[in-house]
Amino acid sequence: MSVVESLERLGGVATRAALIATSDRVRVDRAVDAGDIVVLARGRYALPEVDASRAAAHRLSAAASWRSAAQLHGWELLHVPDQPDITVPVKRKLTKSQRAGVVIHRGDLHASELEDGKTTQARTLVDCLRNLPFEEALAVADSALRHGFSPRLLVGLAAGARGPGSAQMRRVAELASKEKANPFESGLHAIAAGVPGLHVRPQVAIYELRFLGRPDLVDERLGIALEADSFEWHGGRAALARDARRYDELVVRGWLVLRFAWEHVMFEPTWVRSVLMAAVAGRSDRRCVTCRAA
């Protein structure tokens, strides 16, 4: 897998350490030198589209917004946009050539909602949570929390929202967590959230006499553990051996462990949902595995 492909799977923005873990130092440095990836900040890299959003916003005297602003804030995305998201004033007229190569959003932004040619973190979250598909909105919220955005402020933004998309904002704020390691896990959580009877939480520590592990997503009542398995995050022989031991010990103690690849979540969400629904149907008469152990 190329460095660019790895960066796309990591959410379009990644630390140097994360990129090197999926490739190596030489290939990462070569990708930077070739312009295949760009330096977003010290030790942090992004796809060239990030620079394109800056340039487009400057060209149109507008603001990078939505997913483009999220990337500029250093947040990972579930789907990296092909074209920059740009917000221009409602009444501004644009020529066909000005519209080319960008996605135009209309909105009159207050000065307090702008910084360095992009929307602020709060305004970016409002735009993304209100308007993006649910799974993408959740990935943005999780990323923001991982990078230090206040959970209390996130909840406050959602609680105060009114109009179209406000219900989704509150749902996303309810499920968002910095405990999810990457957009891949956010995508799996979004699918699970739509399965009746399934209530998962991220990174729940499981103890049965001793510590067994901390799966990506856990429904304690049904005894179901979901793992977002990808070479980018679980690669290497040592990780394979560790994960195999953990899965086996959970299974023999009554847990149902379901493992999903990145391709499943990104391209086969309907199949993933069908598997989760079948799992819930087969486990609904079971009581809490964790409670039983206690």
Tokens of 112: 């307090």
User: How do 13-15 and 85-88 pair as beta strands?
Assistant: unpaired
d(CA 71, CA 7): 12
Residue 79 scores a pLDDT above 90: yes
* CATH architecture type of domain 183-293: 3-Layer(aba) Sandwich (3.40)
Closest residue by Cα to residue 109 from 50, 65, 163? 65
Residue 204 scores a pLDDT above 60: yes
- 142 versus 286: which is more confidently predicted? 142
pLDDT of residue 294: 38
pLDDT of residue 88: 98
Distance of CA 274 to the CA centre of its chain: 22
In this prediction, residue 41 has a pLDDT band, given cuts at 50, 70 and 90, of: confident
Residue 292 scores a pLDDT above 50: no
Q: What percent of the chain has pLDDT over 90?
A: 83
CA angle, residues 241, 242, 246, in degrees to nearest 5 = 115
In this prediction, residue 235 has a pLDDT band, given cuts at 50, 70 and 90, of: low
Domain spans of the chain? 1-45, 48-175, 183-293
d(CA 259, CA 66): 31
Which residues sit opposite 44 in a β-bridge? 15, 41
Average pLDDT, integer, range 182-198: 97
Angle between helices 121-131 and 166-175 (to 10 degrees): 110
Q: What is the pTM of this model?
A: 0.90
User: How do 224-229 and 256-261 pair as beta strands?
Assistant: parallel
Looking at the chain, list the stretches that DSSP marks H as alpha helix, in order from N- to C-terminal side.
3-9, 16-22, 25-34, 49-59, 66-72, 96-99, 121-131, 134-146, 151-159, 166-175, 183-193, 231-234, 237-252, 262-267, 269-283, 289-293
